[in-house]
Amino acid sequence: MTARLIIWEVLCLALFWSVFCRSVRTSASTKFDIRVAIFLVGLSSLVGLGAPLYGWEPDTVTLAIVTSIVVMQVVMAQHWGKGVPAHFVKSQFLDPKHARRKEDKG
């Protein structure tokens, strides 16, 4: 197994783990598009894990892109430490203290 494949597998596992940790904190109160995005990143990480079985090998650009996504997930995880951030929660489930101003709603 080449070094690139080892790095690729580690990155895909890290990506899947970050998605798993995030998904266990979501519920029906989490905005639908957020749940879909989390699901798609998780699915992509699983496809990525299996891709080398079919002879595919990552290039440097692909490794750089996936590395940046994993780093982004690690940084964003800091904001999910106490659950789903308020701006990812459907408005009917928000505490009044987290409610957004009329000007900010979109």
Q: 65 lies in a domain?
A: yes
Q: 40 lies in a domain?
A: yes
| Residue 22 vs residues 3, 18, 27, 82, 84: alpha-carbon distances, Å | 29, 6, 11, 11, 8
Q: 7 lies in a domain?
A: no
Q: 9 lies in a domain?
A: no
pLDDT of residue 92: 78
Task: Provide the whole-model pTM.
Answer: 0.80
* Section 95-106 average pLDDT: 54
pLDDT of residue 103: 46
Under a CB-based contact definition with an 8 Å cutoff, are residues 31 and 89 in contact? yes
Under a CB-based contact definition with an 8 Å cutoff, are residues 89 and 29 in contact? yes
pLDDT at residue 13 tops 50: yes
| Domain count within the chain | 1
Segments forming the whole domain that contains residue 67: 27-80
* Section 32-56 average pLDDT: 95
* Section 64-91 average pLDDT: 89
Residue 30 β-bridge partners: 89
Q: 88 lies in a domain?
A: no
Mean pLDDT computed over every residue of the chain: 88
